[in-house]
Amino acid sequence: MDKPRGPTSHDAVDRVRQVFRTRAVGHAGTLDPFATGLLVILLGKATRLARFVEQQAKTYVATVKLGVVTSTDDLTGEVVGGRADGRTGGPSQAAVEAILTGFLGAQRQRPPAFSAKRVAGERSYARARRGEAVEPAEVEIVVHAMELVGYDYPDLQFRTTVSAGTYVRALGRDLGERLGVGGHLTSLRREAIGPLRVELAVPLDRIGPESLLPPLAVLGHLPRLAVTQAEARDLAFGRAVRPSAGQSAGPLDWIVAVAPGERLVAVGRLRDDAFQPEVVLEAAG
């Protein structure tokens, strides 16, 4: 759903709970408090699908203010450094585009000090709020796309598609560092999670029963296994089924079992030529 500026991810979950009168509500990938854009909300048994949604690549549009470094790597923190570029208009657009291209590919990223990463058993942000110097361990990420959207120094806007676990705040911070002036994010908007686009989302104040999508809609990136009604009943009991000869996948690949009527029955993996359900959506009966 298209999350307007102001409410947090938790506010969105609370709103959905009120509308649908259920506590079984969760989201697939939180948004920073200052960010806007796509937030995927899951209800009922579909909350079990959050990890499959979260693992997909995400697309963002971010704005960086160059020349100013903050404690949080965004506009909510205190100014802790940075410098104005001595050249008229700041770094050239050619230099910016070259630096952006250099972010592409697999790499290690240092998460922001104000993040949910654990340092010595405690959330990094908790230590940072006490004034402690913290540096979360680097994580492996992949930047699939990085393009310049607009540049009018000191403001620089870019669009990026990144792997799960990537901090776009950290990309903005590192962009400023590579340009030699520092920087921090002033805006962030999530445009997509996998095939799910913000243009098709529902604003938070318009959520209602007509907003609901079938669970299968959030798993379009996973390969399918068509099953019969009888096989669907077996899967609902947690029993494995043997797929047709045409089905193939690696032992670590997730597959969705789909019954007639486009019903999502289960998510599982192939083991010893049999599909073993690990997350069951349909009740046995």
Q: Give the active site residue among 2, 32, 155, 273.
A: 32
For 130, the domain range is 57-192
In this structure, the answer to whether residues 165 and 260 fall within a common structural domain is: no
Domain finish residue from 173, 192, 211: 192
In this structure, the answer to whether residues 131 and 27 fall within a common structural domain is: no
Which of 27, 28, 22, 24 is closest to 12 using CA atoms? Answer: 27
In this structure, the answer to whether residues 200 and 260 fall within a common structural domain is: no
In this structure, the answer to whether residues 140 and 264 fall within a common structural domain is: no
> Which pLDDT tens digit goes with each residue over 226-242?
999 999 999 999 999 98
Check residue 37 and give its pLDDT: 93
In this structure, the answer to whether residues 72 and 182 fall within a common structural domain is: yes
For residues 233 and 284, the answer to whether their CB atoms sit within 8 Å is yes
103-121 as b/e: b if 16+ CB within 10 A: beeeeebbbbbbbebebee
> Which pLDDT tens digit goes with each residue over 60-77?
999 999 999 999 999 999
Check residue 177 and give its pLDDT: 95
Render 5-67 in DSSP notation, one character per residue. Answer: SS--HHHHHHHHHHHHT-S-EEESS---TT-EEE--EEEGGGGGGHHHHHTS-EEEEEEEEET
12 pLDDT tier (thresholds 50, 70, 90): confident
Query: Tokens standing for 65?
Result: 């203010």
In whole angstroms, what is the distance from residue 20 CA to residue 238 CA?
29
4 pLDDT tier (thresholds 50, 70, 90): very low
Which of 258, 209, 264 is closest to 49 using CA atoms? Answer: 264
- Is 253 an annotated catalytic residue? no
DSSP label of 175: H
Our count of domains for the chain comes to 3
> Which pLDDT tens digit goes with each residue over 145-157?
999 999 999 999 9
In this structure, the answer to whether residues 105 and 173 fall within a common structural domain is: yes
* In the predicted structure, residue 2 carries a pLDDT above the cut 70: no
In this structure, the answer to whether residues 67 and 159 fall within a common structural domain is: yes
In this structure, the answer to whether residues 61 and 160 fall within a common structural domain is: yes
Residues 130-136, mean pLDDT to the nearest whole number: 76
pTM, to two decimals: 0.88
In this structure, the answer to whether residues 99 and 116 fall within a common structural domain is: yes
In whole angstroms, what is the distance from residue 277 CA to residue 145 CA?
34
